[in-house]
Amino acid sequence: MNIGNNERRLLKVMLSEPSKSWNLEELLSNTGWSDQVHVAGAGKSLEESGLVEVEESRTTLISLGDKGSNALEEGLLESRLWDWISNQPPESRNMSSLVSSGFGREEAGPGIGILRGLGVSIVDGSFVANDAEVSESIEKRIAFIKSLSSGPLVISELDSDLVNHFSSRSGLIVSEDSISRKWKLTESGTKVEESELSETQMIGELTPEILQTESWIGAEFKPFDVKSPAPIPAGGRSHPMKALIERIRSVFLEMGFSEIEGDFVQSAGWNMDALFIPQSHPARTMQDTFYLTEPENVEVEEKYLDLWAKVHESGHDTGSRGWGGSFDKIESQKALLRTHTTVNTVRHIAENPTTPSRVFGIGRVFRQETIDRTHMPEFHQIEGIIHEPDASLPMLISTLKTFYSKMGYPDVRVRPAYFPYTEPSAEVEILWRGEWLELGGSGIFRPEVTEPLGTEWPVCAWGMGLERLAMLILGLDDIRQLYQPDIEILSKMPLL
């Protein structure tokens, strides 16, 4: 018969009384096993072979909680209070002497509530009760607690009023659902021949040691059941956001881009003025941007302040007329948390104005947003530029298309948009479940941006939301789910 040794041993025991329903203890002592896992395992596989029937019954077990064990030693609170009250001369059977007695506030307070529940009333501050009745109820409670002193009892064997009562008080009793099982031979189980049940040496795992000897020749091999339930190993893994960032990184690297980084703390000048965002732009106000008090300012090279001032006021040599008004260099040096990663790409151009480059960065940005299903004050952007003599709008669009197809979204379209720093400007959308979703902005930097940086080449630029993309890929509908430190949920998110 194609069953293991444990199954053979269990069957042999059960065949000694073929019509008996066996409980766990009986099977353990008769098989000689100390671990119930063997009974459960062998029982289960015999059940699957139709030789054994397993009956499960659910019960609730009641045992003492921490406070219950204390009560066993020190006495139940009501019992100690009642002893004290009963031993007082009539004139001292009142609240004020109780308060000055040894019972602390934390016991006297709840204690009075419990006594009231037992029928003790307080009349003009004195305790009034039918003493015999109160004592009797307390005795019952003590007996209940004592009955649990030697281990859990099945709920049906206990007085249900007392179970309800003690369940409503914290820590005295604990109730636990338990499943108890009984094992019984089926019709075909009773027909198994004893002679088939001798235990044999079976090889469960072929090790190099076994192969070196000849003991495997003629041995029986334990059947290997690939369908049997097994624990799912909970190994470590990257956080889905980390994994996604890694994937984006490898896609851009594969496309020939290099990675750049930058600081969270920036000057308003580099974050905004360099991008020709007018100093009066509403997004620059405190409602949208986190300005810092420490440091309050970040120094900016005079050369750039001068150039931005000229460009903003009158367009300088760019052919633009600028925004007019007067440019405030103090405003430019205010410190803030970067509101977009475009600050990294413009600085990169300023540092390498005559070297063609294709760079990207994935970084955290900060905006004063109210947290909701789609907004957080901290999020990430995927930013990039192509800075070279022949950079063009078609090149920009095909680059974004290539990027998103490599990420698994081949349908990409762009729509006209507006940013103060690009012309033309385009919004990038991808097709997801039949709907076009906007993922970010892009365009060709305006001369007002590139001239002060020292370059004459066009620059394709884009900046896209990482969280939006992550939500699509992970199938989430709330951005906050990305950052909940819940191992259970995280471990079930798809591997990226």
- Report yes or no: 63 and 173 within 8 Å, Cβ to Cβ: yes
Which long-range contacts (C-beta less than 8 Å, at least 24 apart) are formed by 248-253?
248/362, 248/382, 248/407, 248/466, 249/362, 251/403, 251/406, 251/407, 252/360, 252/384, 252/403
Alpha helices (H) along 424-486: 447-453, 466-474
Residue with Cβ nearer ligand PHE (216 or 418): 418
Residue 300 beta carbon to ligand PHE: minimum distance, rounded to whole angstroms: 20
| Separation between Cα atoms, residue 227 and residue 223, nearest integer Å | 12
Residue with Cβ nearer ligand PHE (289 or 342): 342
Residue with Cβ nearer ligand PHE (111 or 443): 443
Residue 383 beta carbon to ligand PHE: minimum distance, rounded to whole angstroms: 6
Residue with Cβ nearer ligand PHE (265 or 417): 417
Residue 275 beta carbon to ligand PHE: minimum distance, rounded to whole angstroms: 8
Residue with Cβ nearer ligand PHE (327 or 462): 462
Place of tokens 């820590």: 171
With DSSP H G I counted as helix, E B as strand and the rest as coil, what are the percentages for the chain, rounded to 5? 40, 20, 35
Residue 340 beta carbon to ligand PHE: minimum distance, rounded to whole angstroms: 4
Q: Which two tokens stand for residue 191?
A: 């027909």
Residue 388 beta carbon to ligand PHE: minimum distance, rounded to whole angstroms: 16
Place of tokens 């600081």: 263
Closest CA to 101 of 88, 110, 91: 88
Residues that bind ligand PHE (CB under 6 A): 340, 342, 419, 422, 440-443, 461-463
| Separation between Cα atoms, residue 83 and residue 335, nearest integer Å | 71
- Report yes or no: 62 and 155 within 8 Å, Cβ to Cβ: yes
- 94: which DSSP letter? B
Residue with Cβ nearer ligand PHE (172 or 439): 439
Closest CA to 264 of 178, 348, 366: 366
Q: Is the dihedral of CA 26, 31, 36, 38 positive or negative?
A: negative
Residue with Cβ nearer ligand PHE (129 or 343): 343
Residue 246 beta carbon to ligand PHE: minimum distance, rounded to whole angstroms: 22
Residue 366 beta carbon to ligand PHE: minimum distance, rounded to whole angstroms: 11
Residue 369 beta carbon to ligand PHE: minimum distance, rounded to whole angstroms: 12
Q: Which amino acid is at 350?
A: A
**22 CB neighbour count, 10 Å cutoff:** 21
Residue with Cβ nearer ligand PHE (45 or 422): 422
